[in-house]
């Protein structure tokens, strides 16, 4: 169940709240199952992400998991989704459709967001849970976090987005080794491998994440959105194509009120007050 306001949306597998002005937070709320996802959770995640995306008052997103045992351990293999699995099994190409419309759609939605997202990781982020974290722009992990890919332990694949994401963060050889050997890394090693942005003491994790998001909310929203879009696109195109995209983007930002305010604030030696127009 949901309505059209992020701050009052109610879901069965998620908690949505606003811990700071302009900061949205989505908490995966299946702690007894180590926040493993079901198809129902993916549909709620898509709805919550759309609420964040479409609310211009929200400028940063925290994605985290309830409890301390796990951020997300991938798909739920406990049988909790048995009825849904039976329906999928009766459909031609049902497994492919389920993946396309489920966690793959969530990963695409996160990667395509034109506003910042931050994964806050406590405990395990493995298999599809690691793909979910890597789909965010930043990953802050507690010192006790553990990240890796356990898909092959059950004969499964890094199909939620891991096959695309893992090599981009680690390089092909390390990504293959992690997946094929079902390796799980402590937070410091995951940071060295490029999977984590920052590692912090568990007790400092929330404050640091909120402070980081607070800082993001002070930036010019148009510039933030277009910078994210430009950099994400630049990973896939040539330098010339990236330059052309930048030329289009500055036609939006340079005439904006926020740029005028930023220049005035610089000249007047004060902090700018950006409004997103």
pLDDT by residue (tens digit) across 207-241?
Answer: 999 999 999 999 999 999 999 888 888 888 787 77
Q: Identify the burial level of 159 via C-beta atoms within 10 angstroms of its C-beta, where 0-12 means exposed, 13-18 middle and 19 or more buried.
A: middle
Q: What is the residue extent of each domain of the chain? A: 6-217, 221-268
Q: Which of 119-123, 165-169, 216-220, 249-253 has the lowest mean pLDDT?
A: 249-253
Least confident piece of the model among 139-153, 203-217, 245-259: 245-259
According to the model, what pLDDT value does residue 2 have?
Answer: 42
Report pLDDT for 56: 93
Q: What is the mean pLDDT of the chain?
A: 90
Average pLDDT over residues 31-38: 96
Confidence of residue 84 (pLDDT cuts 50, 70, 90): low
Q: For the chain, how far is it from start to end, CA to CA, in angstroms?
A: 33
Residue 145 pLDDT > 60: yes
What's the predicted TM-score (pTM) here? 0.90
Reported confidence tier of residue 85, pLDDT bands at 50, 70, 90: low
- Per-residue pLDDT reduced to its tens digit, 99-142: 788 999 999 999 999 999 999 999 999 999 999 999 999 999 99
Name the burial class of residue 18, with classes exposed (0-12), middle (13-18) and buried (19+) by CB atoms within 10 angstroms of its CB: middle
Q: Residue 115: what pLDDT?
A: 95
Residue with the larger pLDDT of the pair 252 and 41 = 41
Q: How many CB atoms lie within 10 A of CB 78?
A: 12
87 or 76, which is more confident: 76
Under 8 Å between Cβ of 35 and 70 = yes
- Which class would CATH give 6-217? alpha beta
The single residue listed with the structure tokens 């340079």 is: 254
19 has pLDDT over 70: yes
Residue 52 has pLDDT above 80, yes or no: yes
pLDDT tier at 243, thresholds 50, 70, 90: confident
pLDDT of residue 38: 94
Q: What is the pLDDT of residue 83?
A: 58
Q: What is the H or E stretch that residue 223 is in?
A: helix 221-234
For residues 115-150, one letter each, b for 16 or more C-beta atoms within 10 angstroms of the residue's C-beta and e for the rest, the string is: bbbbbbbbbbbbbbbbbbbbbbbbbbbbebbbbbbb
How much is the pLDDT for 88?
58
């Amino acid at each position: 169940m949901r309505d059209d306001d992020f701050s009052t949306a109610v879901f069965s597998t998620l908690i949505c709240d606003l811990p700071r002005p302009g900061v949205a937070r989505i908490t995966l709320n299946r702690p007894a199952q180590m926040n493993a996802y079901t198809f129902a959770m993916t549909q709620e995640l898509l709805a919550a992400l759309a609420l964040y995306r479409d609310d211009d008052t929200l400028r940063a997103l925290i994605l985290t998991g309830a409890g301390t045992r796990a951020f997300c351990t991938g798909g739920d293999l406990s049988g909790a989704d048995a009825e849904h699995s039976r329906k999928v099994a009766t459909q031609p190409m049902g497994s492919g459709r389920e993946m396309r419309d489920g966690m793959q759609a969530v990963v695409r939605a996160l990667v395509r967001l034109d506003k910042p997202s931050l994964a806050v990781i406590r405990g395990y982020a493995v298999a599809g849970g690691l793909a979910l974290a890597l789909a965010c722009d930043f990953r802050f992990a507690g010192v006790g976090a553990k990240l890796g890919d356990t898909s092959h332990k059950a004969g499964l694949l890094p199909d939620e987005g891991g096959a695309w994401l893992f090599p981009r963060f680690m390089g092909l050889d390390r990504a293959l080794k992690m997946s094929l050997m079902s390796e799980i890394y402590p937070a410091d090693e995951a940071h060295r491998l490029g999977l984590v942005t920052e590692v912090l003491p568990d007790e400092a994790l929330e404050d640091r994440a909120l402070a980081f998001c607070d800082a993001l909310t002070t930036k010019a929203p148009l510039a933030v959105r277009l910078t994210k879009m430009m950099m994400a696109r630049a990973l896939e195109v040539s330098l010339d194509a990236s330059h052309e995209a930048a030329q289009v983007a500055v036609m939006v930002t340079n005439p904006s009120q926020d740029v005028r305010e930023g220049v005035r604030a610089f000249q007047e030696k004060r902090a700018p007050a950006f409004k997103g127009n």
